[in-house]
Structure 1
Amino acid sequence: MKIVIIENELYLAQSIAARLSEFHFETTIFSSVKEAMEAQADVYLLSTNLPGQNFLPLIERHKNKNVLLMVNYINNDTVGEPLKAGAKDYIVKPFMIEELIRKIEHFHRHRMYQERIRFYEEYLDDLYREIELPIDPEQLELPLVIHTNYQRIADKLALQLNRLRKNILQLISLEEPDWKERMGTLDEEHIGYITHLEKLKKSERETLYRLLDGKRFLLTDSSGSVETPFPSLRLDSSKRLYDQDEILTIDEYVQYIVRTFQYKFPDTELSRRLGISRKSLWEKRKKYELFKKK
């Protein structure tokens, strides 16, 4: 990790650099903000005790990196304004090198987690792009049971809800043996996203309902037929995508093939591969509204 030190007290800067090198950090020292403006690094250790120098432009230029302030005392000029400009944290001189490293590594981990979350969100957005929600997640009132013929509809709804609410969604699968113990994690901060109600026996469902009393949750039933004492909503899909772990009906399979390949093959080829006539294919298009978009 590359670290730039901007400090006009040369002895102090060299002392910090020497200690950081012991922990395998690569350091460069600058005595003025102007000299450090173009330096590229992962971390900028910026002294706010630089007489006659305006360090705010450096913070603004590198605000996407870790700008860590080294201050003699705390006030609006040394901490308040720099933090508003984009600095990430501060440390008061004199400080222990271990505390400095802790702050550096804390931000590094935080940024790594942010990048991972960004990747996961982009991936999930792409994965669920073809699934249309028939309801606005902002209108949902919890608790709520979702009866659906396609689990992914409920999954996308939960993902959208997780972005909208300040609460954290806690995933609990009723297929897992420890689901009863995990119900204890639901509190004011957490909303339960509880899946596979259809997998439970009737006696287990009664236990579940008692554990859920007074809690906020989104509960899914993929069979579409389980009765519960909670408010419910049915979200079925006529556009089920093909998953390798489920068996589709003949009609569902025809819908999937036509929807997926209708722009790749002409109707003569589609009907041949499906083993049906062109007339039958046309009738199925009309029945399931699978017409091509011009």
Structure 2
Amino acid sequence: MNILIIEEQMHLSHEISTNLIDTGYNCIEKKSLSIKSIKFNIVILSISSSKLDYEAFIKTNKNKHIILLCDIDKTKKAIELLSCGADIFLTKPINMKLLLTKVNLYKEYFRVKENEKQHTDTLQFLFRTQKPYDKPYTFPLQLCSQNTICADFIAFDIAKKENKTLKLIQIKKDGKPYKLNNFDFENYIPYITDISNLSETKKDRYMQYLSQFKVVVYIDQKCKQYPKFECIKIKTLTDKQITQDILTIDGYIKYILNKFQDNLNDTSIASSLSISRKTLWNKRKKLGVCRP
């Protein structure tokens, strides 16, 4: 992580830089606000000079974390600069331990933000073939599907429409269902995915308990309709192609080839279909399905 230090007092700048480098940070020291082509994550900015335009600098870099350093008589100025985009200010003489603590907090913030981005990217990849759920719905909501990804996408999509965060709730290991009496429904929507782990009697009792809340529950395709729950039955592409519209043998083999040939070799596909590789090769020629 790169930290830019802008301080006219070189001895103080070196002291800050030395402490940060010893902690594992990369530091760039500057005396002026001229920072073209310098890449940094955090800036430690001393506002000791009356000649520099700190306000313009902060507004230009308000997407960065900015820690102000000021003399005690410049506290009022520092408070004004907070409204321009600076994060905090520390008065001189600087407490190095406190400064390091603040920098470490921002480092943790960047780590959490990066993890959040990775999770978002992962979800976008998993849901890349899904379409938004555009039909009316009411709570409590029951999702029935053999495909958990389809159900998860609808749950996330509904939470987004409600302007809330979807929170995954799992049944406790001791088998006692999670209680929602103190749940933060104002900011979150509970999403329960492992209710199938309960016995039928406990499942019926728990679903009756959940029916009083704004909750989304996922159950597999063979689930029954529970009282007071709206049930969305999700039919995947595979359901339509294979179970509803019965395919011919050649049609099924063509479907399997198109779906799995990017991830499986012909030996694995032939074995799954219980045919020889030669038969599979002949089917490819007959059906016009060539490897990309």
TM-score w.r.t. the length of structure 2 is: 0.70
- How do 1:9-88 and structure 2 match up within 5 A? 9-34=9-34, 36-59=35-58, 62-71=61-70, 72-74=74-76, 77-81=80-84, 83=85, 87=86
Number of the residue aligned with 2:200: 202
Higher deviation after alignment, 95-104 or 174-183: 174-183
- How do 1:1-294 and structure 2 match up within 5 A? 1-34=1-34, 36-59=35-58, 62-71=61-70, 72-74=74-76, 77-81=80-84, 83=85, 87=86, 89-94=87-92, 95-135=94-134, 139-174=136-171, 177-178=174-175, 180-181=177-178, 183=180, 186-188=183-185, 189-240=187-238, 251=246, 257-258=254-255, 261=258, 273=280
- Per the TM alignment, residue 133 of structure 1 is displaced from its structure 2 partner at its CA by 4.4
- Per the TM alignment, residue 47 of structure 1 is displaced from its structure 2 partner at its CA by 2.0
- Per the TM alignment, residue 186 of structure 1 is displaced from its structure 2 partner at its CA by 2.9
What's the CA shift string for 1:177-207, capped at 9, x where partnerless? 4562465663334321112444432311233
Q: Look up the equivalent residue of 1:237 and give its one-letter code.
A: K
Q: Look up the equivalent residue of 2:229 and give its one-letter code.
A: P
Q: 1:200 to 1:135 in 2, by over 3 A?
A: farther
Higher deviation after alignment, 228-237 or 72-81: 72-81
CA–CA distance in structure 1, aligned partners of residues 198 and 97 of structure 2: 52
Identity across the alignment (%):
16
Q: 1:152 to 1:3 in 2, by over 3 A?
A: closer
Counterpart contact for 1:3–1:43, Cα < 8 Å: yes
- Per the TM alignment, residue 171 of structure 1 is displaced from its structure 2 partner at its CA by 1.2
Q: 1:17 to 1:128 in 2, by over 3 A?
A: closer
Q: Look up the equivalent residue of 1:167 and give its one-letter code.
A: K
Counterpart contact for 1:146–1:154, Cα < 8 Å: yes
The alignment partner of 1:33 has SS state of coil
Q: Look up the equivalent residue of 1:227 and give its one-letter code.
A: Q
What's the CA shift string for 1:130-187, capped at 9, x where partnerless? 2334535xx5432211233433221111222344444332212459545624656633
CA–CA distance in structure 2, aligned partners of residues 218 and 186 of structure 1: 14
Q: 1:29 to 1:225 in 2, by over 3 A?
A: closer
What's the CA shift string for 1:66-105, capped at 9, x where partnerless? 3322244145632211x1xxx4x11231342222222212
Higher deviation after alignment, 140-149 or 70-79: 70-79
- Per the TM alignment, residue 6 of structure 1 is displaced from its structure 2 partner at its CA by 0.8
The alignment partner of 1:17 has SS state of helix
The alignment of Structure 1 onto Structure 2 pairs a total of residues equal to 263
The alignment partner of 2:113 has SS state of helix
Counterpart contact for 2:194–2:219, Cα < 8 Å: yes
Counterpart contact for 2:126–2:149, Cα < 8 Å: no
Counterpart contact for 1:224–1:234, Cα < 8 Å: no
Q: Look up the equivalent residue of 1:152 and give its one-letter code.
A: I
- Per the TM alignment, residue 113 of structure 1 is displaced from its structure 2 partner at its CA by 1.7
CA–CA distance in structure 2, aligned partners of residues 99 and 240 of structure 1: 58
Counterpart contact for 1:172–1:179, Cα < 8 Å: no
Counterpart contact for 1:5–1:44, Cα < 8 Å: yes
Q: 1:24 to 1:14 in 2, by over 3 A?
A: same
TM-score w.r.t. the length of structure 1 is: 0.70
Counterpart contact for 1:153–1:235, Cα < 8 Å: no
Counterpart contact for 2:169–2:192, Cα < 8 Å: yes
CA–CA distance in structure 2, aligned partners of residues 159 and 221 of structure 1: 16
CA–CA distance in structure 2, aligned partners of residues 256 and 149 of structure 1: 21
Number of the residue aligned with 1:285: none
Q: Look up the equivalent residue of 1:102 and give its one-letter code.
A: T
Q: Structure 2: where are the runs of 5+ without partners?
A: 262-278, 288-292
Higher deviation after alignment, 253-262 or 109-118: 253-262
Counterpart contact for 2:144–2:218, Cα < 8 Å: yes
CA–CA distance in structure 1, aligned partners of residues 254 and 171 of structure 2: 32
CA–CA distance in structure 1, aligned partners of residues 258 and 160 of structure 2: 33
What's the CA shift string for 1:35-72, capped at 9, x where partnerless? x4443333210123331212345445544443322244
